[in-house]
Structure 1
Amino acid sequence: MITFLVCIAVLIIGYFTYGKFIERIFGVKKTRETPAYSHHDGVDYVPMGTNRNSLIQLLNIAGVGPIFGPIMGALYGPVAFIWIVAGSIFAGAVHDYLTGMISIRNNGAHLPQLAGKFLGGTMKHIVNLIAVVLLLLVGTVFVTAPAGLLFDLMNGWMTISVITGVIFLYYLFATLLPVDKIIGKVYPILGALLVISAIGIGAMLIATGAPIPELTLQNMHPGGEAIFPILMITIACGAISGFHATQSPIISRTVQKEQNGRKVFYGMMIVEGIIAMIWAAAAMSLFYGTDLSALIDNGGAGLVVSEVAFTLLGAIGGTLAVLGVIVLPITSGDTAFRSARMIIADYIKIPQLKIMSRLWIALPLFVVSYILTSMDFTLLWRYFGVTNAAISAIALYVGAMYLAVQLKFHWVATVPALFMTMVAFTFIFNASIGFGLPMTMSYVLAGIATGIVLALFAYKIKLNRRIENFKMDEEVSKAA
């Protein structure tokens, strides 16, 4: 219990200290006009208040990841707490803040455009492809997970296929309509439900003196899976998630002032980290060890959610808590498709003012996603995990390059970028869905690959600084 409470406190302190440090490095300009005003179009560029934006951002980024991921990560034991806390403060929140703020500085641009600008034109095309694939995987995962939970909650009186169809229909409307019509109005209410359910679970863990294990670095996974990199792939959204880099530009187009960014981007990642801590602790305390492993194998993380909610909160409270969990994936799935639609539209330069222009881009995405729902959830989650790690590394390199070109302390982004690069490469070399190599060999090859990436990144920094200096020299010459 002490470890759990200390970790929650460290996350909160991290927001007020390291979050402020990152904000100072970035350099907020209070009088700078944001894209919500300079590009106002009544569809995607719409000014909204900070509290509203914060709750929307939280729901956008907090899918099943900060719940299902930590539940599966709980099999490793309290070492999962360390990853959630360190990942959230030094990687995830930095990742979310920089991608959100750099997007604001670039007219609400999405990650592929930013990658093209700061990492080169080739990266724009690569990231476009990876980002759309990631968003399709996210949208699919965030259909199947809530559909299963709703099926169980309704005792099977409505079939999975009907529930899935209803969720897809909602996603279609949320993808096509202006951001302030559904997302802007419904999300704050759903966000309150999410926060209340998480607080309820956390409060009951404390009130009942739940036997949450204390800190140890021992790997307690019953299957002996390696902590690095599998834990980082398993617990993504609760620590660092590349998916967030696809969501932040949605809100960067609605933020009213730059100084709101720390609360909206950095702060909501910290809140997500707290949610992840609560569910990891609940899983460890109620179903620790072999029992938890058996429960996940038999019914998945969704069954653990139901058991935790109804055990701690009773029938009414448990139902509300499960509804709060269902809200998470649905309110991330809809914005996943919305982001995919916006990214594709930006890439092929199709204005989105007319609904038919949005519809013909969105419909093929839903068709492909519906086909993917037939895939095994665990396999989908692994593909999602490694794609997620790769995108998070790329997004951090974008943030690092932005800071480096301006001669600012870029290592706050470069170090976590290198870490996630190592995670992604190690997983790809070792996993059965990758090359299937022994772990030791995977570590060596991943280390070499990460070193090559660092060398290329350092070269790109020098190149971009020369280009920037040349532009400045040209401006001085013209002024003279």
Structure 2
Amino acid sequence: MSGIILVVFAIILFISAYRIYGNFISNKFSIDGNHTTPSHEMYDGVDYVPAKPPVLLGHHFASIAGAGPIVGPIIAASFGWAPVYAWILIGSTFIGGVHDYTALIASIRHKGKTIGQVIENYIGLNGKKLFLIFTWSTLILVIAVFTIIVSNTFNSIPSAGTASILFIVIAIAFGLLSYRKKIPLLISSAVGIVLLALAIYFGNQFPLLLSKQAWIVILLVYIFFASVTPVWILLQPRDYLNSFLLYALMLGGIAGLFFTMPEVHLAPVTNFNINKIGYLFPALFVTVACGAISGFHSIVSSGTTAKQLDKETDAKLIGYGGMLIEGVLAVLALLSVASLDQAHFIQLLNEKGAVTAFSTGIATFINNIPLLGIDKSHASSFAALAVAAFALTSLDTATRLARYTFQEFFETRQQTEKSGITSNRYFATFITVIAGGLLTMSGQSMTIWPVFGSANQLLAAIALLAITVWVINLKINYYFTLIPMLFMFAVTLSALAMLFYNNFLINNYLLSIVSIFLFVLAVMLAWQAFTVLRTNTEPSTSK
């Protein structure tokens, strides 16, 4: 089997899905570019700021991608390439794309609020409170884990630390020039890309040698300011410019495939039970999250993205299109190791890790492109830097999203304006960063990480549950969200039950308690939703 066939088929399928299924969803919700979006209606110059579609796509894609669509498919390839490839295609098209797009639509129809507001309107206030507690707790875990990952990366690859700091400076300048000086996007983008290349060069020339603990402190200070700063100064431009790193990596990898012409040597299917991963069901669908469906995406869609959407018609490109682009990245990640036989793949994965395996494979593809003249070591370093940059993007986005969640927890439908310390963005961010920092310093965040995959997918199931209840209230056909929701509940509840049982057997009571807590939370929310629908009670009729 040729790797070229797999990537070409995936791209053709995703393009077709964007045009056909994307339009199907748009028509369901009567998407109209004349509808006023929250970014205009509630403009505040800090969080609610309209962005041009390419800029917002860059922010959204950079935020949802991170290292997830790279690490997940490579680890899951232990089951063989065929189930991973099939799940990426089906998941991105009919589950993840629907999840991301509908979460974005639901948010802009509810004043840019999170899925928690949808739950309050159609399931009840208690459901909203439970959801926001769970969401904030999950985001604190994300902050702690990504702080550790990024600090480790910058400590081991000092050039990445220097380049990332320069990226931030460039992004601030880009934001000021674009929004204050009104420099055309094409010109500012071209200059920004050149400066990014120079930042990478200077990063290699002047690596910043700091300890892991020093980087942790720097990162915690950075995410505080990144959360409270107006999005147009840092978040929008940094994510937009960073997205070019990943676009370049993807284009270079795909172009390199046609010159390398790799054959897939991984076994199509290996075993239905893999040590340290679990059974194919549900482990595959939890391991490959980003790249197929990820609950974190719904928080981004209904968190930062919905507050920056300029027109409703942009939602299809950002929500559905962003997920399909991530699907292409996931396929590319799978193909980066597919030329290895199963034994060598397992050895590389165990000894070097998924990121190194990806960087090595992509470097091989890029190295084979004529005329570019990029040697394998430089291509590998660039790939590692791109992954590190997106891990940092996920970190600062998660902090802002946790701040939104904290503030929204104390709001009610009756509030007409924000007031009190809990609505203060500095206070909400301070509590969030302190909580994330304490978990980072405790050394427990990586211990809890195995349950995060299930928690992340549970977020997706709950988001789809809330959206399905909303869609039913809109009196339109709801099966396109109901079926993905039922599947994700089956996946997450099965995974959590197995995590509880396996950790209980080895006396890991912490993970057992967390697993059963999430299981009970999901069942409670599902029951509340069922009760609302069964009794035909509609707490709100707003759309």
Shorter-chain TM-score tier? 0.7 to 0.9
Q: Does 1:315 align with 2:377?
A: yes
Q: Does 1:186 align with 2:186?
A: no
Of residues 350-359 and 401-410 in structure 1, the stretch that sits farther from structure 2 once superposed is 350-359
Tell me the CA shift for residue 379 of structure 1. Answer: 4.0
Q: Is the 8 A contact 1:429 1:436 kept in 2?
A: no
The code of the aligned residue for 1:135 comes to L
Aligned match of 1:429: 497
Tell me the CA shift for residue 434 of structure 1. Answer: 6.5
Change in 2 beyond 3 A, CA 1:210/1:30: same
Of residues 454-463 and 408-417 in structure 1, the stretch that sits farther from structure 2 once superposed is 454-463
After TM superposition, the structure 1 = structure 2 runs for residues 180-329 of structure 1, keeping only pairs within 5 Å, are: 180-213=232-265, 216=268, 219=271, 223=275, 225-249=278-302, 250-286=304-340, 288-313=341-366, 314-329=376-391
Change in 2 beyond 3 A, CA 1:56/1:289: same
Q: Does 1:333 align with 2:395?
A: yes
Aligned match of 1:92: 96
Q: Is the 8 A contact 2:114 2:299 kept in 1?
A: yes
Can you list the C-alpha shifts for 1:4-29, whole angstroms capped at 9, x where unaligned? 43223212221111111111112213
The code of the aligned residue for 1:226 comes to Y
Tell me the CA shift for residue 413 of structure 1. Answer: 0.6
Equivalent-residue separation in structure 2 for 1:355 and 1:116 (angstroms): 19
Equivalent-residue separation in structure 1 for 2:523 and 2:90 (angstroms): 23
Q: How many residues get paired?
A: 462
Q: Is the 8 A contact 2:103 2:115 kept in 1?
A: yes
Q: 2:15 aligns with which of 12, 16, 28?
A: 12
Q: 1:51 aligns with which of 35, 54, 74?
A: 54
Q: 1:460 aligns with which of 493, 513, 532?
A: 532
The code of the aligned residue for 1:331 comes to T
Q: Any gaps of 5 or more consecutive residues in structure 2? A: 160-207, 367-375, 412-416, 506-518
Can you list the C-alpha shifts for 1:145-194, whole angstroms capped at 9, x where unaligned? 23333333338943222233333332222111011110122221111111
Q: Does 1:73 align with 2:76?
A: yes
Equivalent-residue separation in structure 1 for 2:444 and 2:263 (angstroms): 33
Secondary structure of the structure 2 residue equivalent to 1:17: helix
Tell me the CA shift for residue 388 of structure 1. Answer: 0.7
Q: Which runs of 4+ in 1 moved over 6 A?
A: 352-356, 449-456, 465-469
Q: Is the 8 A contact 2:336 2:358 kept in 1?
A: no
Aligned match of 2:163: none
Tell me the TM-score normalized by structure 1: 0.87
Equivalent-residue separation in structure 1 for 2:148 and 2:73 (angstroms): 18
Q: Is the 8 A contact 1:212 1:282 kept in 2?
A: no
Aligned match of 2:131: 127
Q: Is the 8 A contact 1:312 1:318 kept in 2?
A: no
The code of the aligned residue for 2:532 comes to K
Tell me the TM-score normalized by structure 2: 0.78
Q: 1:168 aligns with which of 206, 220, 245?
A: 220
Secondary structure of the structure 2 residue equivalent to 1:409: coil
Q: Is the 8 A contact 1:145 1:302 kept in 2?
A: no
Change in 2 beyond 3 A, CA 1:317/1:361: same
Equivalent-residue separation in structure 1 for 2:273 and 2:10 (angstroms): 21
Q: Any gaps of 5 or more consecutive residues in structure 1? A: 438-446, 473-480
Aligned match of 2:469: 401
The code of the aligned residue for 1:136 comes to I
Can you list the C-alpha shifts for 1:11-55, whole angstroms capped at 9, x where unaligned? 222111111111111221332111111111111111111111111
Q: Is the 8 A contact 1:72 1:301 kept in 2?
A: yes
Compute the RMSD of aligned alpha carbons: 3.2
